[in-house]
A and B are shown apart, each in its own frame.
Chain A
């Protein structure tokens, strides 16, 4: 027993020494006097860094010797981590953050003002606006502006002589025809909480169109979610679709990851997707003809014909930590990233980004985007999350999931939204709450 123990201890200590020395050695390779080269720490949520980003970072390192250390964080924790790190002075040099109103959740005095960077002037208008808070440009946008609409399988529609519906009653008729012919009308994924609330998010644009100033009223507590007809109708519609079987028999556990399969195999006819989603479906299922599919705006909740397409603030930005010790390196990276050939490479590798933030980069609109533009006659307006403060995607989605499980009615969902929202707005010192 003694010898066994001894050998075990020896082995463990050897392993420890090996581990220690490797770990220690690697930890020491940080640039000491990070003047011209060094390492930039880059914080991002798990969903925001793709292969093309790592390729571009490798190119950048080859060209300048500056290394990018991508720190990929779990999606759920990401915002908490960054906020804590900014507050305690330990933030990464660059970090990604959602564009638009969500910027206000950051301690803005810890974010670097990029307004005078050379590439700012070249940004498209929406891209510049998406990164601005109180007149200062805080984030570089290399994403896309997009919205969520009903992508539909044109082949199936043609087969049953269906046309894209303009309003909810027509939409129900379309669903009915599809179901009668053995095709599940819509693929929906309540378990991915952020998706089902998009119906409400999208119809908000229409609601704001019908009652001008609605967004401002909601933002100053002069109106509540429970008062907005379109919101309640969209929730009732969601429940109705589920109950009528229009989401199919397995909707409560269907996931985003199987969406391309659902439509690519022709089992489902429609899906609430963004304008370039069909490209990914075509990639996974080339036989489906998905690249020819078209889109129309979601009519769930509409009080009449749908007249607008709700779009986001502009996706995800890259922001710079004011207290970073590598600001000069970071600026070099931003300058590199905004060069036209690099942008071209980036957008080429991102099939999901259909509307580049710089005009020099052109991308042909997808069939979906073209048909949508046609449908609403170019009327692209801010969706709910972009115009309304404290739009808690996951929180709303969770409540909707509860509604679908029978825990509460649409009205109760909206009341819960209002209660939660008021608490947060009050904490933030929003006037009116």
Chain B
């Protein structure tokens, strides 16, 4: 009744129109191409139904590897980013003198574009002259050095490490904003009751951070599942196919002229991402804390 006047539906219209017209409708129409044999050579499209999708799930080891890598990358980097981000946020909200400066420093990597990161880390990961190898040698751990981006055992971990480096500060920022919402009086009351730091963390901090955790987990999962630029710039999906993910496959299919196949892969990514995101959203938002 009264709420209708205060929360008018027409507020949604501008966003919806823009979103539909320039993003979602073209995307959905684009999906249609995945069901055709659209490629670089034919001018007349032919409907081939789910042939492309069937090819992806036909048990071809390469596609299986892509799916595996995509999931692995998304999950591992998300977990690490959230944990490190939270740790950093806790450290920096404790009233250190240089908190402001430190906050800026840790956020810096998120500012760089993938091309820049690729250049920097390709040089850092150079097996002989790079900083990482030199650094390990300097502290006497030269036995651990590898050809970081080319060795099959370290290629994927190296790429994941760069992503964690890049976005932990981003998570930290979200957590910092979330931490500020927690009423101080709760902590004061807990102190009076003699609660330990661990107890305070699990009983007060964590519940209030639900929305922030939710946001960080879901966003990073989604971006992890859709990753392309970073992997492409660091390893091009190589050596061979070792670090290939679904979105690099999209690029290579598109480059080789098989546009329909590329689009079909895009649809698969979209479906996987949506399902996972919705599931996680459901699970995490079961216990939200309302302040009002």
Contact = CB atoms under 8 A, between A and B. Distances in A.
Interface of A: 74, 76, 79-80, 83, 104-105, 107, 191, 193, 249-250, 252-253, 390, 392, 394-395, 398-399, 401-408, 420, 423-424, 427-429
A409 to B, nearest CB: 12
Among B115, B128, B256: residue with most chain A CB under 10 A: B256
Nearest to B40: A105
A80 B251 CA distance: 9
A405 B156 CA distance: 14
Contacts of B42: 429
Contact of A428 (B40, B128, B261): B40
A428 B41 contact: yes
Given A83-B40, A253-B127, A398-B238, A405 B152 contact: yes
Nearest to B256: A424
B127 A407 contact: no
B44 to A, nearest CB: 11
Given A424-B256, A427-B41, A428-B41, A250 B236 contact: no
Contacts of A405: 150-152, 239-240, 242
Nearest first, the 5 closest Cβ-Cβ pairs linking A and B are: A402-B240, A405-B239, A428-B41, A427-B39, A407-B240
Contacts of B37: 427
A392 B147 contact: no
A253 B128 contact: yes
B252 interface: yes
A402 B236 CA distance: 12
Nearest to B126: A253
Contact of B152 (A74, A104, A407, A420): A407
Contact of B150 (A253, A395, A403): A253
Contacts of A193: 236, 238
Given A407-B239, A424-B258, A252 B127 contact: yes
B40 A398 contact: no
A398 B240 contact: yes
14 contacts: A80-B254, A83-B40, A104-B41, A250-B128, A252-B150, A394-B236, A399-B240, A404-B239, A405-B151, A405-B240, A407-B241, A427-B37, A427-B39, A428-B40
Contact of A392 (B39, B152, B232, B256): B256
A429 B41 contact: yes
Contacts of A423: 256, 258
Interface residues of B, number: 29
Nearest to B41: A428
A396 to B, nearest CB: 11
Contacts of A403: 240
B243 to A, nearest CB: 11
Nearest to A193: B236
B199 interface: no
Given A105-B40, A428-B39, 5 more contacts: A253-B147, A395-B256, A398-B239, A401-B239, A402-B242
A424 B257 contact: yes
B27 to A, nearest CB: 16
Contacts of B254: 80
B258 A427 contact: yes
Contacts of A253: 126-128, 147, 150
A401 B240 contact: yes
Contacts of B150: 191, 252-253, 401, 405
B85 interface: no
A358 B128 CA distance: 46
Contacts of B261: 427
Given A191-B150, A427-B37, A428-B41, A401 B238 contact: yes
A390 to B, nearest CB: 8
Contacts of A83: 40
A429 B258 CA distance: 12
B266 interface: no
B224 interface: no
A423 B128 CA distance: 39
A79 B40 CA distance: 11
Interface in B233-281: 236-242, 252, 254-258, 261
A402 B258 contact: no
A83 B240 CA distance: 26
B242 A407 contact: yes
A193 B255 CA distance: 16
B261 to A, nearest CB: 8
Contacts of B147: 252-253
Nearest to A250: B128
A428 B257 contact: yes
